[in-house]
Structure 1
Amino acid sequence: MDWAKDGRDWPNNEHSRFVACRPHRWHVQAAGEGPVLLLLHGAGGATQSFRDLLPLLARRFTVVAPDLPGQGFTSLGTRQRCGLAPMAEDIARLCEENGWRPHHIVGHSAGGAIALQLALHWPVKSVVCLNGALGTFEGLAGWLFPVLAKLLAMNPLVPRLFARLSSTEKRVSDLLASTGSQIDPRGVGLYRRLVADRAHVEGTLLMMAQWRVEGLMSRLDRISAPVLFLTAENDRSVPPATSVLAAAKVQDGEIVELPGLGHLAHEEAPERVAEEILAFIDRIETKKPPKVSGGS
C-alpha cells in the first residue's frame, strides 16, 4: 500500500513510523507509556484491525503494533520468510534492535500463534491469544486461503486477479461476515482497501502457503508464561475447541469465552476485549486467582 495515498486517514496514523530491519521495511505503530505490550494482527489484516483496541491498551502500556511482513504497509524484503517461525524471528529482531522488550504479547488469530512462538524464546510475563489460529482455518477462509496459496505457487498473477475480483464492498462484507463477526462500515472499508492492494494480498497468501503450526503445538508445554486464550462464541474461522486443546498443553493456561462475538471480536467489542486483557494482566501481576466463570 502507498502511505502517501492511504496513510493520511489510516487509523492511529499519528503513532506510525517506518523501520528498516532486515529483511523487511516495517510499518509500526507505537503508542503510550509504560511496560511494552506487543500487539500482533492476524493474516489478511494490518494495524487497522486494532484501531480501537490499541488506544485502550496504550493507557497503561507502550503498545507496539507492527504490520506483518508483506501486509498492510510493511514492505516484504524476501518471499521466503513468511512462515510462522521466520516471522517470529524477524519480529524478535525488530523489537530487539529498537529497544522494545515486551512484557506482554497479545496476538489475534495467526498473530496469536506468533505470540506463542515468541514466548518459547522470550521471558515474557504473559501472552493473550485471541481466537488463535493454532490449527486449520474453518469456513470460507479455510477453503479460500489454501486454494489461493496453491494457485500462487503456480501463477504469480493470482494476487493481482484476486485483488481485482474480490475488493467489491459486497465481497469484502461477505468474507468478513463468514468469520462470524459484524463490524462497522468503516472497518469494512479499511479491509476493502487492503484486499484491493496486490502486494498485501500476495503477502497474505505467501503467509498462508508457508503456515505450519505443528512444531509450535508440539512444544506448547515449554511455555512457562501464563497464557490467556480468549475464544469468541460465534467464531466461524477458528473453532473455540482449538483454544481449549492448546490451553491444556501450556503450563499455565486460562480460557475465557466471549459470548455473542465472532473471529474479529476485538473489532466488534474493543472495550470488552481490552477489559479481559487488562484483568488477566492484573491477575498475573498481583497473583489474583482466575475467575470461576467463563467470562460471561
Structure 2
Amino acid sequence: MVLTERPATDNLFSGFRLLDVQTSGARIRVRAGGEGPPLLLLHGYPQTHIMWRRVAPLLAERYTLICPDLRGYGDSDKPPTAPDHAPYSKRAMAQDMSEVMSALGHERFFVGSHDRGARVAHRLALDHGERVLKLATLDIAPTREMYRNTTDAFARGYWHWFFLIQPAPMPERMIESDPDFYWTSRRASDMRLFEPEALAEYLRCFRDPAMIHASCEDYRAAATIDIAHDDADGGRKLACPLLALWGERGIIGKCFDPLALWRERAQDVHGHALPGGHYLAEEVPDLVAAEFKAFFGETA
C-alpha cells in the first residue's frame, strides 16, 4: 500500500494528519490522529469524514482515530461502476477499509459508523470478522431488513432510498441541476448543525458530478447486489458485539424495532435511542463519544 501525506486546508481536525491511502480498488482520503487502540469511524450520505469533527476531539485522547472518505465520497476515488453495481457494493467498500487499516498498521480495531458507513461497517464485520473487535452503528437497521419491512411512513420519510436507485442518469441529472438545493433542502430542519466551514466542505464535495453518480451507485448496490450478498450469508450472524444507537426524533425508531432487526443479523446486540435526530454525531457529539467510550473500552 502507498501512503501519501496531504496538507490540510481546513481547521476542522486540529492535530490530525491528512493522508491518501492507495488500496487495491481505490485511493482513499483519510484523516488520522489521536493515541490508543485503533477506532475506524465511517461516515454517511451525502457527507464525508468531516461529520466526525465534533466527536474526534472527545475521543482522540483515548483512541487512534481513522476517519476515511468512503469510495465515491469526498476526496476519495470514484471508480467506474458496472451493470451489477459491484464496485459500490458494501463488500468492495469494506475491502477498502480493511486495506486502509492494514496500511496504517492496525490489524484488529473497533468500528464506529453512521448511516451508509454503518452499512459498510456491517459488511466489514461479516467479511473480516477476525479483525473487527466491536461495532457501533448510528441511526440504521440492517439494509435488507429495512427494505423487507418497508411501510408507507418509511417510504415517505426515506423517499431518497427509492429515488436514488432509479436507473442512471435520471437521479444524477436531477440532482446535478442544483446540488446545493438538494443537499440543503433535505436537511432544512438540521442546518443549524453544519457550521459554515463544515457546510462549505460538504457542498464542495457534493457538487462534483462524480460523487453524485457514485453515491447513487451506493444506493443501487444496496438494493441489489448487497442484498444478494446478505442472502448468500444464509443465517450467519455477526460474531462481534454490536451497539445500535438511533435518534429518538428520527425515522428508524419510529418505523422499525432496530434491536429486533439487528438481532436477526448479530449475536450480541445492545442499544437504545439518543435524544436527537439522524445526525447524532453532529447534534449530540458528547453523548455519542460517551457511548463509544463505554462500549469500546480502552483495550483492543
Question: What TM-score do the two structures reach when normalised by structure 1?
Answer: 0.80
Aligned residue in 2 for 1:125: 133
Distance (Å, rounded) in 1 between the aligned partners of 2:211 and 2:11: 15
- Tell me how far 1:7 sits from its aligned partner: 5.8
- Tell me how far 1:182 sits from its aligned partner: 5.2
Aligned residue in 1 for 2:268: 252
- Tell me how far 1:232 sits from its aligned partner: 0.9
Does residue 176 (structure 1) correspond to residue 184 (structure 2)? The answer is no
Aligned residue in 1 for 2:210: 199
Structure 2 vs 1, CA of residues 219 and 9 (structure 1 numbering), >3 Å: closer, same or farther? Answer: farther
Structure 2 vs 1, CA of residues 226 and 66 (structure 1 numbering), >3 Å: closer, same or farther? Answer: same
Contact kept? 2:8, 2:18, Cα under 8 Å:
no
Structure 2 vs 1, CA of residues 177 and 238 (structure 1 numbering), >3 Å: closer, same or farther? Answer: farther
Distance (Å, rounded) in 1 between the aligned partners of 2:253 and 2:188: 14
**Structure 2 gaps, min length 5:** 1-6
Contact kept? 1:15, 1:31, Cα under 8 Å:
yes
Aligned length: 273
Aligned residue in 1 for 2:249: 234
Contact kept? 1:130, 1:231, Cα under 8 Å:
yes
The 5 Å alignment of 1:76-91 reads 76-80=78-82, 81-91=87-97
The 5 Å alignment of 1:95-106 reads 95-106=101-112
Contact kept? 2:36, 2:64, Cα under 8 Å:
yes
The 5 Å alignment of 1:1-296 reads 8-9=9-10, 11-12=12-13, 14-80=16-82, 81-120=87-126, 121-123=128-130, 124-134=132-142, 135-136=146-147, 138=154, 142-152=158-168, 154=169, 159=172, 161-168=174-181, 171-177=182-188, 183-186=193-196, 187-212=198-223, 213-214=226-227, 215-216=229-230, 222-236=237-251, 239=254, 241-249=256-264, 250-259=266-275, 261-282=276-297
Contact kept? 2:262, 2:269, Cα under 8 Å:
yes
Contact kept? 1:228, 1:254, Cα under 8 Å:
yes
Distance (Å, rounded) in 2 between the aligned partners of 1:109 and 1:188: 18
SS of the residue 1:8 aligns to: coil
- Tell me how far 1:36 sits from its aligned partner: 0.8
Structure 2 vs 1, CA of residues 197 and 119 (structure 1 numbering), >3 Å: closer, same or farther? Answer: same
- Tell me how far 1:148 sits from its aligned partner: 3.4
Deviations 1:214-258 (A, max 9, x none): 344866752121110011101136757252223323211101210
Deviations 1:161-207 (A, max 9, x none): 52341314xx53331146x7851443444433333222221221111
Deviations 1:77-100 (A, max 9, x none): 332411112211222123223322
**Structure 1 gaps, min length 5:** 1-5, 286-296
Q: Sequence identity, in percent?
A: 25
SS of the residue 1:73 aligns to: coil
Question: What TM-score do the two structures reach when normalised by structure 2?
Answer: 0.79
